[in-house]
Structure 1
Amino acid sequence: MLPLRRPARESGACRTSRPSRARRHRHTEGPERRPTTFSRAQSTAVVAFRVMHVAVTAVGADRPGIVAAVSRVLYDVGGNIEDSRMAILGGHFAMVLIVALPDGADPENLQRALAEPAGALGLITTVRPVADAPPPHAGGTPYVVSVYGADKPGIVLQISEALAAAEVNICDLATHVVGDQEPVYVMILEVDVPPGAGPETIGSALKVIGSELGVDVAFNPMEADTL
């Protein structure tokens, strides 16, 4: 088995990248500059850049045009997609979006705007306000849990319970069944191990669970996930 190199990530597997600070202009000789002032209209324009965030979900039978239809509605109401995850699961298309709306926007208006394309495409959509919150375990270490073996009930449950008991946060989880004649269940989790937790202890506990379930479990740092 060859190691799969993943790009290094900053501490804290669930962190999102922070925008870099604006560069400071060098001081240059010249006439003294007066403080910048804004008119009422200009001040209103500046305030308009403040946003609220909503989570938008859409689920329905997979077909062309779903992303375009939802994106059109978001664009028309002044929304900006900041984070997203989309996948086809069991023949159904599912998307989760974090959307920035102009400050003061009504999420219910967005829900009503989505009703027409949702009805035409057979989608179930939801819109829910979300608050900006710091990620848990800031400063943790990113790890990857890989599970391979025969598909059976309880794999996700037992692995996730073991991680929860160790205060390990699951940041991303994907499962697949591959192969036709001898199908193999594959589960990959990206997790955040909090400071002070023992990776060796966590890895050993996962190995025991894997042995009981009859599956192979690997627990490796994010930088070198061994498949």
Structure 2
Amino acid sequence: MVTIPHQFNGPPDSGNGGWVCGLVAASRLGQGHEGPATSRLRMPPPLDTPLAWEHDADETRLLTHGGAVVGTATSGSFTREAPPFVDAETVRAGLAAYPGFTTHPFDQCFTCGTARGDGDGLRIFSGPVGDDLTAAPWQVHEAFGEPDGTVGTPVAWAALDCPGGWAADFSAQPMVLGTMTAEVYAAPVVGRTYHAVGQLAQRDGRKFLTGTALYTPEGELVGRAEQVWIQIDLATFGG
């Protein structure tokens, strides 16, 4: 059994998409699978609710008590190049230009919410830096560290989540994560600062295809993701 603590929300009453996708991917990786994983969310992930695992050779599933599928994880692959590295000056410019400071549909979001304090949320505030790119610094707070001083897969996937959504601009159209393919090459380390980059690749109706990457300040790629975001109506979402 597992629960999604309320701290790890995205929209107010459901789990942060990246964190939950990372949770399901971590369970699959724990079964001996390697390489990129693709996680799909089938419903708004419920918070503070007992959930169950189901595994087979091809797929890991996170289920409600009644058997509804919350999310799945399978082996995955990337279809595009990772968003490019940007320097410290550029990530500072992205932070300064963050649209969420003015308009934010989910200001309590674990990854990018402006209403979350240090050690409570990741506070990755990604603003536009040109060419369909967003960028922001991420200083890894000790509150998210594992005993070895790194962050776990769900937190790393959460960090790889919202910079892509802001590349499609949450403030222009509210969206939630549908699918995320990611791989973490080197777990982020507590106390270090990373450069988070998001990139809009394509829009297809209500779907937005984006990519994200985390780099060290020296330009080492430590993790990357590709996402499909789904535009929603806030008035009916989760209803």
TM, length-normalised to structure 1: 0.24
Please state which structure has a larger fraction of its residues in strand: 1
**Structure with more contact order per residue of length (Cα contacts < 8 Å, sep ≥ 6):** 1
Greater share of residues in helix: 1
